[in-house]
Structure formats: C-alpha cells, structure tokens
Amino acid sequence: MHYQNVCLETFAYSLPEEVVTSEQIESRLEPLYSRLRLPEGRLELMSGIAQRRFWPAAMPPSTKSVETAEKAIRIAGIDRRQIGALVHGSVCRDYLEPATACGVHHQLGLSGECMIYDVSNACLGLLNGMVQVANMIELGQIRAGVVVGTESSRSLVETTIERLNADTTLRRNDVKPAMASLTIGSGSAAIVLCDRDLSHTGNRLLGGVARCNTDGCQLCQSDGLREFMQTDSETLLREGIATAKETFAEFIESVDWSVGEIDKTFCHQVGRAHRKLMLESLALEPSVDYTTLEFLGNTGAVALPVTAAIGIENGHLKKDDRVALLGIGSGINVVMLGVDWQRSLVEKGPAMVRPRKKTADV
C-alpha cells in the first residue's frame, strides 16, 4: 500500500468513568483462588494491567461511537458535508443488523451520499477501516472519512468471573485459557482521514503492509464479547510476534525507512510480556513507544487508536516524526502503517492517572 494524497487528520477517544482494578477482579474470584490456592496479585503481575474500565451496563456501543466521532470531526475542523465514508470497526456493535454504522451516521447527521458499513476483524477492525477509507481517498472517490468504534468489556469480564467460580472441576491449567478475558477493557476511538488539499495538518499516511497467518485462527475464539472467550495466550504470543516480525521487514521496506529512522510507535495493547517481546523482536527501543495497557487493559480494536489519541494529547509526537502504527489481531492478522507526522490537533481531555507499577519476571 502506498498513498500520495491521504492525510491522517485526527485521533479522538472517550473512556468510561468506572475504573475496575485487577485487585477488585481477584477479590471477586476469591472462591476460585482459595480452592486452587492461587497467589493474589498474579493477574496484574503477569499482565502488567492494573486497571481497566467499564461502560454502564447495557449501553449500546453506538452511544459512545457517536460522541467520539463527533469529537474527532470537531477537532479536525472538517465540514461534515465532505465526509464520504463512515466505517464502524469495533468487535462490539448494537445489532447483527442493521450495521451499527447506520445509527452512528444518523446521529452525526452525515450526508446521504456517505458510504457506511461495519468492519469486523477482532483487534484490527479500526485499522482495516483506516486502510479502506484511505484507499477511497487515494482513488478520488471521497475527500474525507471517519473510522470509529466502541468496545465494551463488562459482560465478558463478569461472565468469565461467574464461570470460573461456578465450575469446581477446574484445575490451574484449565484456568489459563480464560485469564486473557480478565484483561479486557472498554473504550472508544475515532479517526478522521482526508485528502491533502483538505488537510489542516499535513500528516501524510505514507502506506503500509498487511499480512495474515490463519494457521492461528483457533488460538483466540469467542462466541460473542458478551459471552465467553478462550485464548491460548502463550502460543498466540509466540505466533503473533513471529508474524509481526515478518510483516515489519516488509513494512520498513515499503515506506523506505530503516528501523533506526522510526521516531515513534503505537502498538496494539495486550500486556507487558507481549510489548516487551514485540519491541525486542522488531529491534525497537521502548522509549519510542507509548503505552496505555497499565490503566486501560486490552481494549480490542480501539486499543491502538485510543493509545495514539492519548499519546498525541500528551505530546508524544513532534513535527517530522516518522510514526509506525503496529497492529496485531487474533486470526492471526497484522496491519502496519507509516505516517509522516507534522501537526497535532488536540482537544484536552481529563488527566490520565497512571497506576502504580508491579513487576514480575515474565
């Protein structure tokens, strides 16, 4: 993928007010922990995740997607009549049909000529949406587009806790496939892309690459985010990093960068061990990366763009930075995009308080 006429104008985010700590989750798992003599604190020690957040119960994803998309459009300063595409890319959606994008489009008051649809691809949905909107802009089909999504983790986490406590036949090894579900958090993100002539920033999306390794399609499976999810975390970590390493070699060649020329990165937020191994495997310094996993957990398809939005808000990006967006999702799928950053458009949100850190050899 190569682009000459596409700018990545703004990232925006919204977060729930309700904070749920790993300690609180383990307190609710007391029956399981006592029976199996599991040490308290293991969830945070192994994942690096101290907190995640929950939206109010039964809140449809579109409610926050409208709010976040509205914020992104406002920050970008783009006339909404210029918006020719709206993609809703989160795992969570209001209904199987119609597309959640329909309700979001209606509430935003976008043009009837705007192309709208949902994209579902685990944790890569919003990045896939960005690629599709960028393609339409590059082809001259539209001048601007919005990609948005909202993930809600409450039902998954609470159902997982209930099942782990209720099944008294479980042994320690049986618990492992469910632990990743307890790291999931909620959030909402939106991205505005536009053509160069419409842009106020000049943040050029240069291009990128996509690669899949569907031998790993059974390593993380869910029958719905509100139900139950089982994950072979160790194998998914190993195979995901291997696929990312192959993709990264193609990525830096595609955008004509060397590894040392990458100034900043935003990656999918999974956990401490994943981040450490990925940066090491790609020969990237931790200082170039920005993380939110400690206080947001894994927020699915919005994890990378929420992290980018918060990082931009907190001054992580400077003029002329070469920025890599490194997305990895179950399946296994990888999308990596390169941006020539020029200007950050920011609307300050509430201050983010990072929790204290615990360490473990993982």
Identify each DSSP E strand in the chain by its residue range: 6-14, 18-21, 51-54, 83-88, 115-118, 144-151, 187-195, 204-212, 220-222, 229-231, 264-267, 289-290, 322-329, 333-340
Name the phi and psi angles at 206, rounded to 5. -80, -35
Token pair for 347: 């609307």
Identify each DSSP E strand in 196-321 by its residue range: 204-212, 220-222, 229-231, 264-267, 289-290
Name the phi and psi angles at 360, rounded to 5. -155, 150
**Which residues 6+ apart lie within 8 Å of 282 measured at CB?**
244, 245, 248, 259, 326
CB 174 within 8 A of CB 315: no
Catalytic pick among 7, 92, 114, 123: 123
Identify each DSSP E strand in 65-135 by its residue range: 83-88, 115-118
Helix (H, G, I), strand (E, B) or coil at 21: strand
The CA distances from residue 30 to 35, 37, 40, 166, 307, in Å, are: 8, 10, 9, 12, 32
Q: Is 97 a catalytic residue?
A: yes
- CA–CA gap between residue 339 and residue 6 (Å, rounded): 10
Q: CA torsion 292→297→45→349, rounded to 10°?
A: 40
Residue whose C-alpha is closest to residue 239's, from 212, 257, 272:
212
Q: Is 30 a catalytic residue?
A: no
- CA–CA gap between residue 203 and residue 205 (Å, rounded): 7
Token pair for 69: 């998309």
The CA distances from residue 335 to 60, 216, 223, 232, 296, in Å, are: 28, 16, 24, 21, 22
- CA–CA gap between residue 190 and residue 309 (Å, rounded): 9
Active site residues: 97, 123
